[in-house]
Structure 1
């Protein structure tokens, strides 16, 4: 259960202000079918984070256990620094919009998550906890917790959040996970 809780909390906080949350906002403004957008986010995240978690567990199996703790802790510290750099939305790729709300969301979310800090966090969390299913469920829940309100509320919620404070809090959370990894 620790893997589920840590994964959910970590990704929910890291996702605030992330480029995929900005993408959720753009899609919510573009399409009226909120259910299709949320379904696209869910399926894209499940697939993307399953692959990331599998990679994390596979990679950690090849590393000397003596170094595993330091590698995972170092990764958490690196992510802590990375979240202090706010994301900006890439060029609006509207060629996918003609595919409809679900397909556009699925494709754009899957692509946007590649190499994103929440995907990297999923790799690290899976390596730390060795609980692929719980990490994937947790990171997917975290993505939904952060993105569903944006989809439902649309443009009313996006610019009302204290982004600097949220990014700093997220950095502290990742640093604490790094410290906890070293201590336990």
Structure 2
């Protein structure tokens, strides 16, 4: 019984490390309390995996044991390759936010796991299990543990975790267990140098095909979903606070500090409000420029800050709070560069065309990094 529980927990824990549902937990943790997120994970996973375990238990008694082992081994090989698949951006939480924190998370996890490899893993583990309910407890525990690790550790060092490393752990575990099951379950006359060589070639080709998009993305400097989720709004605002400290040239070059009457000073107060209250009540407006004293700024650092802000804005455009606050910072940077604010509706190419009209050189600098 304990072996089945630990086996189920381990498989789900490894399979979900760096997967979309762990990233989803990290994202929810930036909006809701950790206890609410984990309770939602518990409810959603219990319902989803409960259906899977029930199904696995029902079909388990209808299929010979040796055939079940071959099916399980083949399924694990499939899960190994699936672990290398690049996750697309997930929108499961869209449309369920009105349910409240716990049920929003539960609904997102239930929907997100439908047909996913963890639900199929739960089915595979339960088809020949002596205690199906123990399998269910193990899979749900694995989901809770993975989500907890994602929230606690991922938010602190998630941007430093290599995506390929996370995927290879799951890939290796499923591949080894799947290969062992097939080796011990298939008739001896199927195990020969030709079949083994063909199997290895098949795995190598499929693995290379699945890894290529991740490597290409890394070469382009794109962040993984795990890295994007690791940067919270609070991290971004603190980074921008540091950036604006550097944009200011200091009184020895700029003259007496004007505080709120300086664009940099005004924006620093705006960022402070965003950090403390989670909202910005007084965003930059073009009409406000008349009250600001004419000051010199480090334009290269302003452009660098605009690059950083645009990347964050594009990564989090569907999150209304992050979008509003990063847009407020973006407008401030535009005011410093062009003495006016520009519109941005999610189309980066159209935005860059607006920049080109103001300053082609700045547009080229931005395009290089986006």
**TM-score, scaled relative to structure 1:** 0.89
Distance in structure 2 (CA, Å) of the matches to 1:56 and 1:91: 28
Displacement of 1:100 after TM fit?
1.6
Distance in structure 2 (CA, Å) of the matches to 1:110 and 1:176: 29
Range that drifts further, 143-152 or 14-23:
143-152
**CA contact 1:39–1:102 (8 Å) conserved in 2:** yes
Distance in structure 1 (CA, Å) of the matches to 2:15 and 2:160: 17
Matched, 1:18 2:19: yes
Superposition pairs for residues 1-184 of structure 1, below 5 Å?
1-31=2-32, 33-91=33-91, 93-152=93-152, 155-182=155-182, 183=184
Structure 1 residues 130 and 73: CA distance shift in structure 2, 3 A: farther
**CA contact 1:77–1:174 (8 Å) conserved in 2:** yes
Computing the radius of gyration from Cα coordinates, the structure with the larger value is: 2
**CA contact 1:69–1:181 (8 Å) conserved in 2:** yes
Displacement of 1:98 after TM fit?
2.3
Distance in structure 1 (CA, Å) of the matches to 2:63 and 2:41: 33
Aligned with 2:95: secondary structure?
Answer: helix
Distance in structure 1 (CA, Å) of the matches to 2:144 and 2:93: 22
**CA contact 2:93–2:105 (8 Å) conserved in 1:** no
Distance in structure 2 (CA, Å) of the matches to 1:92 and 1:46: 18
**CA contact 1:41–1:109 (8 Å) conserved in 2:** yes
Runs of at least 5 residues in structure 2 that lack an aligned partner in the other structure: 186-370
**CA contact 1:52–1:119 (8 Å) conserved in 2:** yes
Aligned with 1:74: secondary structure?
Answer: helix
Counting helix residues as a fraction of each chain, which structure ranks higher? 1
Deviations 1:66-98 (A, max 9, x none): 422211111111111111113233236432222
Aligned with 1:63: secondary structure?
Answer: coil
Distance in structure 1 (CA, Å) of the matches to 2:56 and 2:132: 9
Displacement of 1:160 after TM fit?
2.7
Structure 1 residues 168 and 52: CA distance shift in structure 2, 3 A: same
**CA contact 2:93–2:104 (8 Å) conserved in 1:** no
Runs of at least 5 residues in structure 1 that lack an aligned partner in the other structure: none
Aligned with 1:30: secondary structure?
Answer: coil
Higher relative contact order (CA 8 A, sep 6+): 1
**TM-score, scaled relative to structure 2:** 0.46
**CA contact 2:92–2:108 (8 Å) conserved in 1:** no
Deviations 1:7-51 (A, max 9, x none): 1111111101111112111211122x2211110101111121111
**CA contact 1:9–1:142 (8 Å) conserved in 2:** yes
Structure 1 residues 28 and 45: CA distance shift in structure 2, 3 A: same
Aligned residues: 183
Deviations 1:146-182 (A, max 9, x none): 1013234563343332221221121111122223434
Deviations 1:105-142 (A, max 9, x none): 01111110111111111111112434212211111111
